[in-house]
Structure 1
């Protein structure tokens, strides 16, 4: 077990280490990330399947600008080498004078990933989509162009059946922004053949860190996210006063699960639902890219698990991963970890100090989440060249969010995740499974929770499902985890996404419902489960 800041989170590590010991996996500490954490194609053929004309991707409309390296700026019409190419990062679009004003086009595109030719839905013909970099107090103005073809199916009577895969919308995951109007409103429906405006005002006191965006239209979100319709958002300014972090080269690693049918497409839910559907893992839309470092160099990696379904247990050969932030929220101390478990939707910012010259693998190691998580080499770190004398920070600034005291709590509630499965689980068809919250499947016409603006609440999330862990996520307001499986944390931790273990696992958190009224969602971020009903509405209202 690692010694240091993560000692106060021993409760979080116990359950995960128990799982690992059953499989005789690792001797190293998992630390805090074990439970609370408990791409752009190498080449793109920009042919589009659309009946609505050809729109060229817009870089900006006067108030923002994009950074694009010469490599990424070229449309590659030949198959890119399958693996072991240098890591490429997505195009960057930055705010200018307080505004990020740009467009985002959704259409079919050909992509090559790991030597496989895919024809899937995408943003701007790439996966991940462009990275948005903004500052607290900025406004994001997006023009979403839905150039996907018309839906082929009608709206089903049962909303928990995946449907109408070409309807979409836009979600700023983890942001404390308005969920109403044309802001971060996942109740909107953006039909094919139309253009929609999204305007999100970021509060001046917003936490600085790593966030992301993806579609959140019930019925189609799973198919679109598994196709690679997603991208990172960086709210800039975190650790600006920590010289060791400011001096470190920054890299973005967007982790995805590559899945497809025999035609290189995702057109049926059967392509996604089997727990073994993932073909391989990718980073920034590449299979097993190379990350270059010099001996002694410190780099900052912003890691996002944008996979549609599964946890990933990250291990870097002969190196610690020094966590400095989770879910876009700064930590108050560096956490040196041998491995980090990161669930779909979660982010972790780590510092990596390169060791001796050589090649080291960043792996997704085996992990039991009720079914085996996908495994394999995510990237290779190649350390070479003249050494650099760089240091890790000895201390971090005070975390940005104040802890919630028990005396502040105005209301408590319990939320129960459950599921049903056929007796022959492994052979079951997806329509034989059911996923529920408080015994009910999602209904957008129903308000499941009403919360007064300004309330401070304590929630207990319980998972009664016998077979699978679940991943709890709630929009708009982050939460502070105070206990896991009945054991209080010595130092509570802020998150927007958390693993809730199967067979009676429970997580207790506290949250301040401040600043914004409106309707938003809580759900399992294993997107197969959300799409089949594991989601609820929350309405924050002004008394």
Structure 2
């Protein structure tokens, strides 16, 4: 059944309007659809938020429902914005597919989410309902915020309003800028026992659950002022007493991000037109999400994220090679929706272990645009572009994806896939033709990663599943491996009349722009650096840290002079977890990867030039060689732990200012595995560190 063709029986006309809305609501939820597919906007306003709309076992294989989009337009004058939108943070009870250790369940969760509309209230684009002006139309259904679709050179305005009612979402500590607390039950006494914060302290602890901001992940824009500024705090409107507003804002509960996506070199720098850009904005699949240090993990787990598509010459060339590619494109945001960050207790105790571990409460399933295992239908031989955003926040979502035939008697019934971009940055033609990347029939994404693939359906009708497997295994300390139950993300159904289409070849694949060629952008090399992703030295809970120190807002930062470049070696000391490294504003090239958990012949991979650009990469976990808590193997002293590591190189050009680097397992970031980054003018003193304002 098409998501746009649900028919209500004739005798339903005699049913009262409220009853009709309930019937349609239940039907839409059972099909994994939004009410926007079946109701006009006027009816949506009165649609009930009833737990009955969520069945106990949501059915898979329903049609993928697109997320409505904000699409930029030609500005009325050169200084006017090409896209101006309102994004309001609200709270609602959503009915979310979970495991909870008892098979599939649909649980009510009180969570935070984005509600978006154009500033001029015009209808959204690519919505199942052409009259829709607000996304989401039904806040009880899970899913991402609206998709932004813009073009290089566009000016963007996002008016962020924090309308959370603190009474509806009370924090475990009513003081937003104090560590949260979690209490457990001690069965031996029947009383309460403190689980958190133990000895963790501000600013690197779980806190500020209702305070927010917005990060534009993957953008190469100014990190200061009204740009991609994650150093500001936007408090809830109902916060008492009224806190000070962010810089340059009138109220404490709003912030306007206002910036221009730079054009490729030699275009003028948007901040200073007298200077030319050295690097441009990579057109590709990027995303936005909440980034208030202390509550990033919780707000992302709640679902506060969405796709941010930036189009440019790369897209134009692909459209020329494969006419109609834009019309059939699929944008898919992978999420796990939960309502709390839980403290894990030891197996034999009601107390947390050391190191203290956290996990996403509710054992959430992996959803695509809020749907469980939806279906994409293609014609035989058809080619589509699929954009994936991994908007999850825990290690269990570090997965390798590949297709397998749904019919066990024909496991080889699969489409051909070609990777064309990683983290929103196109591959070079050499890598498009590389069996490790472009021609590989599988792809791996960690939390924060994006990937673009071309999918060509088989020449005959049939069904296949996009399956996944864990790269590193489930995290320790009791977190359930929820993604390993029915381990597939979606279904591909091939139906209809065959079409003749051809994938690009290495010869006609869009060439890499000069500004993405390392030697074409001159910089001053600086000495290599090493960052150790480890634990806080002497910390009671062994908080996640970099170089033995948790982020403190005073001493934990890296500084780079504008116009320089450097190599960074990123070491992972944890045997229990990967650490997806992410740095804002400036992407990097991956040069080497060492994974001590692989067979010896594949442990050390030296990448081939031209290197692939990324902005997020999973640092492989260390290998402790099976040592127990006392450092022994079979009662004997074990060998030294072998760290995993990655070597990257990056350029710090175009934009000075303050931003951050951190682990994208976001409770690690919240609890201290983050550093501030300052890019400064070498002719002036290095600015003082910023804290959230």
Per the TM superposition, whether the score is higher than 0.5 is yes
- Pick closer, same or farther for the CA change 1:324–1:245 going to 2, 3 Å: farther
Is contact 2:533–2:579 with CA below 8 Å preserved after alignment?
Answer: no
Q: Measured at CA, do residues 198 and 270 of structure 1 come closer, stay the same or move farther in structure 2, by a change above 3 Å? A: farther
Instruction: State the alpha-carbon separation in 2 of the partners of residues 239 and 300 from structure 1.
Output: 10
State the shift of 1:314 in Å: 1.1
How many angstroms does 1:403 deviate by? 3.1
Residue 261 of structure 2 is aligned to residue 202 of structure 1? yes
| Alpha-carbon separation, structure 1, partners of 2:674 and 2:423 | 20
Contact 2:340 2:360 in 1 (8 A): no
The alpha carbon displacement at 1:245 in A equals: 3.9
Deviations 1:209-235 (A, max 9, x none): 110000110011110000100000110
Point out the more displaced range, 521-530 or 270-279: 270-279
Question: Considering only aligned residues, what root-mean-square deviation do their CA atoms show, in Å?
Answer: 2.8
Which aligned pairs between 1:35-54 and structure 2 lie closer than 5 A?
A: 42=32
Q: Distance in 1 between matches of 2:379 and 2:40?
A: 24
1:57-206 matches, cutoff 5 A: 75=44, 77=48, 79=53, 82-83=58-59, 84-98=61-75, 99-114=82-97, 115-124=106-115, 125=139, 127-150=143-166, 152-156=174-178, 157-193=201-237, 194-205=253-264, 206=281
Larger Rg over CA atoms: 2
Q: State whether residues 312 and 374 of structure 1, in contact with CA within 8 Å, keep that contact through their aligned partners in structure 2.
A: no
Task: Report the secondary structure of 2:300's partner residue.
Answer: helix
Matches of 1:196 and 1:403, distance apart in 2: 36
Superposed displacement of residue 458, structure 1: 1.5
CA distance in 1, matches of 2:361, 2:94: 22
Higher strand fraction (1 or 2): 1
The answer to whether the aligner puts 1:502 opposite 2:621 as a matched pair is yes
Going from structure 1 to structure 2, the CA distance change for 1:110 and 1:418 (only over 3 Å counts) comes to same
Once the two structures are TM-superposed, the CA of residue 481 in structure 1 deviates from its matched residue by: 1.2
State which drifts further: 361-370 or 292-301.
361-370
> CA offsets, 1:240-289, max 9 Å, x none?
12334443320011111233xxxxx3376669923796331100011111
CA displacement, residues 322-342 of structure 1 (integer Å, 9 cap, x when unaligned): 100111111123312222110
Q: For 1:263-274, what aligned pairs fall within 5 Å after superposition?
A: 265-266=339-340, 273-274=358-359
Shift of 1:175: 0.5
| In 1: Cα distance, 2:608 partner to 2:310 partner | 29
**Unaligned 5+ residue runs, structure 1?**
1-40, 46-67, 260-264, 422-429
Q: 1:528 to 1:267 in 2, by over 3 A?
A: closer
Is residue 2:663 matched to residue 1:524? yes
**What is the Cα deviation at residue 158 of structure 1?**
2.8
- Name the CA distance, whole Å, in 1 between partners of 2:463 and 2:300: 32
Aligned mates of 1:108, 1:433 — CA distance in 2: 33
CA gap 1:93/1:71 in 2 versus in 1, 3 angstroms? farther
Match in the other structure for 1:338: 441
Of 375, 380, 384, which aligns to 2:495?
Answer: 384
Match of 2:678 in 1: 539
Structure 1 partner of 2:135: none
Residue of structure 2 equivalent to 1:283: 368
Q: 1:502 to 1:277 in 2, by over 3 A?
A: farther
SS of aligned partner of 2:607: strand
Q: Distance in 2 between matches of 1:226 and 1:431?
A: 26
Compare 446-455 and 366-375 and name the one that shifted more. Answer: 366-375
Contact 1:223 1:269 in 2 (8 A): no
SS at match of 1:223: helix
Q: CA deviation at 1:200?
A: 2.0
Shift of 1:480: 1.1
| Residues 1:312 and 2:399 aligned together | yes
Q: Deviations over 1:176-203 (max 9, x none)?
A: 0000012111000000002221112211
Aligned to 1:374: 483
Matches within 5 A, 1:420-439: 420=535, 432-439=541-548
Q: Tell me, yes or no, if structure 1 residue 360 matches structure 2 residue 464.
A: yes
Q: Which residue of 2 aligns with 1:350?
A: 453
Q: What residue in structure 2 maps to residue 58 of structure 1?
A: none
Native 8 Å contact 2:465 2:492 kept in 1? yes
Higher RCO structure (Cα 8 Å, ≥6 apart) = 1
Count, aligned residues: 469
> How far apart, CA to CA, are the structure 2 residues paired with 1:71 and 1:308?
33
Superposition map of 1:423-462 within 5 A = 432-446=541-555, 448-462=557-571
SS in 2 for 1:240: helix
Q: Is the 8 A contact 1:90 1:131 kept in 2?
A: yes
Shift of 1:456: 1.6
1:218 is matched with which residue?
293
In structure 2, which of residues 636, 645, 650 is the aligned counterpart of residue 511 of structure 1? 650
